[in-house]
Amino acid sequence: MTPQPKISVAFADDKDSERKSILRSLNNLNNCCVLFSSTSGRDMIFKLQTLKKLPDIILMDMEMPCCDGLLATTICKRLFPQIKIVGLSSHCSFAVISEFISEGGSAFFSKYLLDKESVCYRAYAEKDVFEKYLEKVVKCNDVFFDPLLQFNSDKNYKTNPTFSIIKNRFPELKDHEIIYLQLNAAGFSKPEIKTLMCREVATIKKYYEKLSKFFGAQTHSDLTSICLNYGIVKMVHLYERFKLFEE
Protein backbone atom coordinates (compact mmCIF):
# COMPACT_ATOMS: atom_id res chain seq x y z
CA MET A 1 0.00 0.00 0.00
CA THR A 2 1.35 3.42 -1.00
CA PRO A 3 1.84 5.62 2.08
CA GLN A 4 -0.31 8.74 2.22
CA PRO A 5 1.61 12.01 1.80
CA LYS A 6 2.05 13.94 4.99
CA ILE A 7 0.14 17.14 5.64
CA SER A 8 2.54 20.08 5.39
CA VAL A 9 1.96 22.66 8.12
CA ALA A 10 3.18 26.15 8.95
CA PHE A 11 2.12 28.03 12.07
CA ALA A 12 2.27 31.50 13.57
CA ASP A 13 2.34 32.47 17.25
CA ASP A 14 4.06 35.44 18.85
CA LYS A 15 4.80 33.68 22.16
CA ASP A 16 8.00 31.61 22.25
CA SER A 17 6.61 29.09 24.75
CA GLU A 18 3.48 28.56 22.64
CA ARG A 19 5.52 28.04 19.46
CA LYS A 20 7.64 25.41 21.20
CA SER A 21 4.53 23.67 22.52
CA ILE A 22 2.83 23.65 19.11
CA LEU A 23 6.01 22.37 17.44
CA ARG A 24 6.30 19.52 19.95
CA SER A 25 2.69 18.54 19.40
CA LEU A 26 3.00 18.62 15.60
CA ASN A 27 6.26 16.66 15.62
CA ASN A 28 4.48 13.90 17.55
CA LEU A 29 1.91 13.46 14.81
CA ASN A 30 2.45 10.73 12.22
CA ASN A 31 0.66 12.47 9.37
CA CYS A 32 2.24 15.95 9.56
CA CYS A 33 5.48 17.64 8.61
CA VAL A 34 6.27 21.16 9.81
CA LEU A 35 7.63 23.51 7.14
CA PHE A 36 8.27 26.50 9.40
CA SER A 37 6.98 28.59 12.27
CA SER A 38 6.48 32.36 12.42
CA THR A 39 6.52 34.91 15.21
CA SER A 40 3.79 37.11 13.71
CA GLY A 41 1.34 37.45 10.87
CA ARG A 42 3.81 39.64 9.00
CA ASP A 43 6.57 37.06 9.41
CA MET A 44 4.21 34.36 8.12
CA ILE A 45 3.30 36.34 5.00
CA PHE A 46 6.94 37.09 4.16
CA LYS A 47 8.02 33.47 4.58
CA LEU A 48 5.18 32.21 2.39
CA GLN A 49 6.28 34.62 -0.34
CA THR A 50 9.70 32.90 -0.54
CA LEU A 51 8.45 29.30 -0.82
CA LYS A 52 8.34 27.25 -4.01
CA LYS A 53 5.83 24.84 -2.45
CA LEU A 54 3.23 26.24 -0.07
CA PRO A 55 1.98 24.39 3.03
CA ASP A 56 -1.34 22.56 3.01
CA ILE A 57 -2.39 24.22 6.27
CA ILE A 58 -1.51 27.28 8.32
CA LEU A 59 -2.25 27.22 12.04
CA MET A 60 -2.88 30.87 12.87
CA ASP A 61 -2.86 32.30 16.37
CA MET A 62 -5.36 35.13 16.63
CA GLU A 63 -3.87 37.59 19.10
CA MET A 64 -0.53 38.77 17.74
CA PRO A 65 0.87 42.32 17.69
CA CYS A 66 0.42 44.63 14.68
CA CYS A 67 -0.61 42.07 12.06
CA ASP A 68 -2.83 39.73 14.08
CA GLY A 69 -4.29 36.41 12.99
CA LEU A 70 -7.49 37.88 11.58
CA LEU A 71 -5.75 40.43 9.36
CA ALA A 72 -3.04 37.91 8.39
CA THR A 73 -5.77 35.48 7.31
CA THR A 74 -7.43 38.12 5.13
CA ILE A 75 -4.11 38.88 3.43
CA CYS A 76 -3.03 35.25 3.09
CA LYS A 77 -6.32 34.28 1.45
CA ARG A 78 -5.81 37.07 -1.07
CA LEU A 79 -2.17 36.23 -1.84
CA PHE A 80 -2.25 32.43 -1.35
CA PRO A 81 -5.92 31.36 -1.73
CA GLN A 82 -5.12 27.65 -2.04
CA ILE A 83 -3.84 27.33 1.56
CA LYS A 84 -6.30 26.19 4.21
CA ILE A 85 -6.06 28.28 7.37
CA VAL A 86 -6.97 27.02 10.83
CA GLY A 87 -7.54 29.53 13.62
CA LEU A 88 -5.91 28.58 16.91
CA SER A 89 -6.58 30.27 20.25
CA SER A 90 -6.97 29.48 23.95
CA HIS A 91 -9.16 32.52 24.56
CA CYS A 92 -11.21 34.02 21.79
CA SER A 93 -14.68 35.34 21.04
CA PHE A 94 -17.54 34.08 18.94
CA ALA A 95 -17.23 37.36 17.01
CA VAL A 96 -13.57 36.73 16.14
CA ILE A 97 -14.29 33.13 15.11
CA SER A 98 -17.13 34.27 12.87
CA GLU A 99 -15.03 37.04 11.30
CA PHE A 100 -12.16 34.59 10.79
CA ILE A 101 -14.43 32.15 8.94
CA SER A 102 -15.92 34.94 6.83
CA GLU A 103 -12.36 35.88 5.76
CA GLY A 104 -11.75 32.38 4.40
CA GLY A 105 -10.70 30.35 7.44
CA SER A 106 -11.30 26.61 7.09
CA ALA A 107 -11.56 25.66 10.77
CA PHE A 108 -11.10 26.97 14.29
CA PHE A 109 -9.49 24.98 17.13
CA SER A 110 -8.89 25.64 20.79
CA LYS A 111 -5.22 25.42 21.78
CA TYR A 112 -6.30 22.99 24.48
CA LEU A 113 -6.67 20.50 21.65
CA LEU A 114 -2.85 20.35 21.54
CA ASP A 115 -2.27 20.03 25.27
CA LYS A 116 -2.93 16.47 26.42
CA GLU A 117 -2.06 17.47 29.99
CA SER A 118 -4.77 20.11 30.23
CA VAL A 119 -8.06 19.57 32.03
CA CYS A 120 -9.92 20.71 28.92
CA TYR A 121 -8.30 18.00 26.80
CA ARG A 122 -10.11 15.36 28.84
CA ALA A 123 -13.37 16.61 27.35
CA TYR A 124 -12.37 14.99 24.06
CA ALA A 125 -13.63 11.43 23.80
CA GLU A 126 -10.90 10.08 21.53
CA LYS A 127 -7.12 9.94 21.23
CA ASP A 128 -5.16 11.60 18.42
CA VAL A 129 -8.05 14.03 18.02
CA PHE A 130 -5.90 16.88 16.67
CA GLU A 131 -4.43 14.63 13.97
CA LYS A 132 -7.91 13.53 12.93
CA TYR A 133 -9.15 17.11 12.81
CA LEU A 134 -6.27 18.19 10.58
CA GLU A 135 -7.02 15.36 8.17
CA LYS A 136 -10.65 16.45 8.10
CA VAL A 137 -9.63 20.01 7.23
CA VAL A 138 -7.44 18.82 4.34
CA LYS A 139 -9.90 16.28 2.92
CA CYS A 140 -13.20 18.13 3.40
CA ASN A 141 -14.19 21.54 2.09
CA ASP A 142 -16.70 22.07 4.89
CA VAL A 143 -15.88 24.61 7.58
CA PHE A 144 -15.01 22.75 10.77
CA PHE A 145 -15.08 23.80 14.42
CA ASP A 146 -13.45 22.19 17.43
CA PRO A 147 -16.51 21.04 19.45
CA LEU A 148 -14.97 22.37 22.67
CA LEU A 149 -15.66 25.89 21.39
CA GLN A 150 -19.42 25.21 21.26
CA PHE A 151 -19.60 27.52 18.27
CA ASN A 152 -22.60 27.24 15.97
CA SER A 153 -22.23 29.28 12.82
CA ASP A 154 -26.02 29.30 12.30
CA LYS A 155 -26.80 30.62 15.79
CA ASN A 156 -23.79 32.81 16.58
CA TYR A 157 -22.49 35.81 14.68
CA LYS A 158 -23.24 36.48 11.02
CA THR A 159 -20.58 38.63 9.36
CA ASN A 160 -19.72 39.90 5.91
CA PRO A 161 -16.30 39.24 4.37
CA THR A 162 -14.18 42.26 3.55
CA PHE A 163 -14.53 41.69 -0.21
CA SER A 164 -18.33 42.03 0.09
CA ILE A 165 -18.06 45.13 2.27
CA ILE A 166 -15.65 46.76 -0.18
CA LYS A 167 -17.71 45.78 -3.22
CA ASN A 168 -20.85 47.32 -1.72
CA ARG A 169 -19.31 50.48 -0.25
CA PHE A 170 -16.34 51.19 -2.51
CA PRO A 171 -16.86 49.44 -5.87
CA GLU A 172 -14.37 51.85 -7.47
CA LEU A 173 -11.44 50.37 -5.52
CA LYS A 174 -9.20 48.08 -7.59
CA ASP A 175 -7.85 44.77 -6.29
CA HIS A 176 -4.29 46.09 -6.04
CA GLU A 177 -5.53 49.09 -4.04
CA ILE A 178 -7.40 46.84 -1.61
CA ILE A 179 -4.40 44.61 -0.94
CA TYR A 180 -2.26 47.74 -0.51
CA LEU A 181 -4.67 49.06 2.15
CA GLN A 182 -4.55 45.75 4.02
CA LEU A 183 -0.76 45.45 3.83
CA ASN A 184 -0.46 49.03 5.06
CA ALA A 185 -2.72 48.21 8.00
CA ALA A 186 -0.51 45.20 8.78
CA GLY A 187 2.43 47.54 9.29
CA PHE A 188 4.46 46.68 6.21
CA SER A 189 6.81 49.40 4.96
CA LYS A 190 6.78 50.66 1.35
CA PRO A 191 9.83 48.49 0.40
CA GLU A 192 8.16 45.46 2.01
CA ILE A 193 4.88 46.11 0.18
CA LYS A 194 6.90 46.53 -3.03
CA THR A 195 8.28 43.01 -2.55
CA LEU A 196 4.92 41.44 -1.69
CA MET A 197 3.05 43.14 -4.53
CA CYS A 198 5.90 42.91 -7.08
CA ARG A 199 5.72 46.63 -7.78
CA GLU A 200 8.20 49.50 -7.75
CA VAL A 201 8.49 51.69 -4.65
CA ALA A 202 7.37 54.66 -6.73
CA THR A 203 4.19 52.79 -7.65
CA ILE A 204 3.52 51.94 -4.00
CA LYS A 205 3.98 55.61 -3.13
CA LYS A 206 1.38 56.53 -5.77
CA TYR A 207 -1.07 54.04 -4.25
CA TYR A 208 -0.64 55.70 -0.87
CA GLU A 209 -1.05 59.23 -2.26
CA LYS A 210 -4.17 58.29 -4.25
CA LEU A 211 -5.85 56.38 -1.43
CA SER A 212 -4.97 58.96 1.22
CA LYS A 213 -6.65 61.62 -0.91
CA PHE A 214 -9.64 59.34 -1.58
CA PHE A 215 -10.23 58.66 2.13
CA GLY A 216 -9.04 62.04 3.45
CA ALA A 217 -6.18 60.49 5.47
CA GLN A 218 -3.16 62.49 6.63
CA THR A 219 -0.87 59.60 7.65
CA HIS A 220 -0.48 55.85 7.24
CA SER A 221 -2.06 55.42 10.69
CA ASP A 222 -5.02 57.57 9.66
CA LEU A 223 -5.49 55.41 6.60
CA THR A 224 -5.50 52.26 8.75
CA SER A 225 -8.03 53.76 11.19
CA ILE A 226 -10.35 54.72 8.35
CA CYS A 227 -10.07 51.23 6.85
CA LEU A 228 -10.94 49.71 10.24
CA ASN A 229 -13.97 51.97 10.57
CA TYR A 230 -15.26 50.99 7.13
CA GLY A 231 -14.57 47.25 7.51
CA ILE A 232 -11.93 47.20 4.77
CA VAL A 233 -9.60 45.87 7.45
CA LYS A 234 -10.61 43.65 10.39
CA MET A 235 -8.46 43.17 13.50
CA VAL A 236 -8.97 41.08 16.64
CA HIS A 237 -8.83 43.96 19.13
CA LEU A 238 -12.19 45.22 17.83
CA TYR A 239 -13.86 42.17 19.37
CA GLU A 240 -11.95 41.72 22.64
CA ARG A 241 -14.96 42.47 24.83
CA PHE A 242 -16.62 39.21 23.76
CA LYS A 243 -14.13 36.65 25.17
CA LEU A 244 -14.94 32.94 25.24
CA PHE A 245 -11.97 31.86 27.30
CA GLU A 246 -10.03 33.87 29.84
CA GLU A 247 -6.32 33.47 30.47
Domain final residue, candidates 149, 180, 212: 149
Please say if the pLDDT value at position 49 is more than 90.
yes
Specify if 37 maps to a domain.
yes
Specify if 184 maps to a domain.
yes
First-to-final CA distance of the chain: 46
In the chain, the percentage of residues whose pLDDT exceeds 70 is 91
Residue 197 structural domain: 171-230
Please indicate, yes or no, whether residues 188 and 223 belong to a single structural domain of this protein.
yes
Please indicate, yes or no, whether residues 127 and 212 belong to a single structural domain of this protein.
no
Considering only the C-alpha atoms of the chain, give the largest distance between any 2 of them, rounded to a whole number of Å.
Answer: 63
Please indicate, yes or no, whether residues 175 and 74 belong to a single structural domain of this protein.
no
Number of domains in the chain: 2
Please indicate, yes or no, whether residues 132 and 175 belong to a single structural domain of this protein.
no
Could you read off the pLDDT of 13-22 as tens digits, one per residue?
999 999 998 9
Question: Which of 84-88, 168-172, 239-243 has the lowest average pLDDT?
Answer: 239-243
Average pLDDT score over residue span 188-195: 94
Specify if 175 maps to a domain.
yes
How far is C-alpha 115 from the geometric centre of its chain's CA atoms? 21
Helices 190-197 and 41-50: crossing angle in degrees, nearest 10, is 40
Which residue has better confidence, 84 or 160? 84
